A and B are shown apart, each in its own frame.
Chain A
């Protein structure tokens, strides 16, 4: 029989604990660990949408604080701001998308070498080649 004092209840304001009030962060860390193994073994990337996770108050802060910050941080300006940063665990990225009003519209964990959205996109590369071409044509004219 479980006694009350053996149940790991922690206040929501103590982000240092990996377990937290409900223990909902722990399985997520395991999922990230499995995704890292897949990435290392098969080059197989994973995206986890945190909107679909039933977090308790403080769980998101706890997860992000446990992941920590790594060497790379990128700011993307397209339809509002986005922050793309490597966590303290290389290969684990935190991607936050905001809209024009500064409200967050997506929060994702990407387990990959670099999130696809950070790369220059083929369509944009073609477009920039055309634009540079036009600029040079106009200068010559």
Chain B
């Protein structure tokens, strides 16, 4: 249960030195993607931070988001954070089950009325509540009931943020994201399928540190992690600007690590922190492994044409321009980038539903 001890007091009680605390603050600043100049402010805020109660609800989801969170590879930072949040209900991780589990949720809601943080993963079916229930309670009822006393809601994963896979055409369960049901609470969308572990913990750390939510973009995502496109932060970007593209998975361009745009990389329309935060403890990320970005942190990514169709294909012949760019070098490459930016919105609107045939056709 949440208590009134501050993080500073609690760390000192555990024998953590001031140096250890500063190291923790540096790692936390890095985790929250804040500049190192913020470390003194973070130290001052963490010194006073109280232990908030967290209720985690899982609806129509695959548990991938929880897997991502529990596989996050910075135990010092995360375990310190989780020692200092009180995770009062999470039906995958908690020991209690059945009525005892529901009693824990009700107790946490009652004791921390108006102050707890609600984390949701998974979308909510509205076509028939019977598609997904917990302890006989429909997802939509449980969400409404638990959201009422929450200070804020964090929608973790593309399903909770935008509907995700369950909402993919033809959306048999009538799946909707959290934001279509709850309108009167601050909601942060931490999208991704799954989201990057440090992005999930970074948002929790931000709330723990500052007692407030970070600045959000137009889709309700934290700007610090979703403020720039994969394409703009990609280490392969210089090849795009020079018009150097891989055309298949095993050609010269692929071996030399050239841009994956023509193989369907969705980096230019995708906003996420993969290019810098990376995956698997910083080992690498999809583009570094030689595969284009699927765009999993964007709304309706599953229905956005084929994964291996270049972004421009649905609307106009932008690939022609890209090919020209490849021949003419840097100047035209940059022009193609501008043209593509202009057509992306249009392309998204005209995207057809993907079929098995499309997937088999590949590139």
Q: What residues on B are CB-neighbors of A73 within 8 Å?
A: none
Main secondary structure of the interface of A (DSSP, over half): loop
Whether B22 contacts A121 by the Cβ 8 Å rule is yes
Whether B23 contacts A24 by the Cβ 8 Å rule is no
Whether B238 contacts A105 by the Cβ 8 Å rule is no
Kindly state whether residue B24 has any CB partner on chain A within 8 Å.
yes
Of B33, B238, B242, the contact of A2 (CB 8 Å cutoff): B242
Q: Which residues, 38 to 52 on A, are CB-close (under 8 Å) to B?
A: 47-49, 51-52
Given contacts A55-B235, A117-B26, contact A99 B244 (CB under 8 A): no
Whether A23 contacts B26 by the Cβ 8 Å rule is no
Contact with A along B60-88 (1 / 0, CB 8 A): 00000000000001111100100000000
Kindly state whether residue A137 has any CB partner on chain B within 8 Å.
no
Whether A106 contacts B30 by the Cβ 8 Å rule is yes
Whether B19 contacts A117 by the Cβ 8 Å rule is yes
Of B17, B24, B257, the contact of A121 (CB 8 Å cutoff): B17
Kindly state whether residue A7 has any CB partner on chain B within 8 Å.
yes
With an 8 Å Cβ cutoff, the count of chain B residues facing the other chain is 45
Of B235, B277, B282, B329, the contact of A22 (CB 8 Å cutoff): B235
Q: CA separation between A53 and B235, bound complex, in Å? A: 9
Kindly state whether residue B215 has any CB partner on chain A within 8 Å.
no
Kindly state whether residue A33 has any CB partner on chain B within 8 Å.
no
Kindly state whether residue A132 has any CB partner on chain B within 8 Å.
no
Q: CA separation between A26 and B106, bound complex, in Å? A: 56
Minimum Cβ distance to chain A for residue B321 (Å): 17
Q: List 18 interface pairs A-B (beta carbons < 8 Å), by A numbering.
A: A12-B257, A47-B36, A47-B39, A56-B257, A78-B23, A79-B24, A97-B27, A99-B74, A99-B77, A101-B75, A105-B30, A106-B26, A106-B27, A117-B22, A117-B26, A121-B17, A121-B22, A124-B19
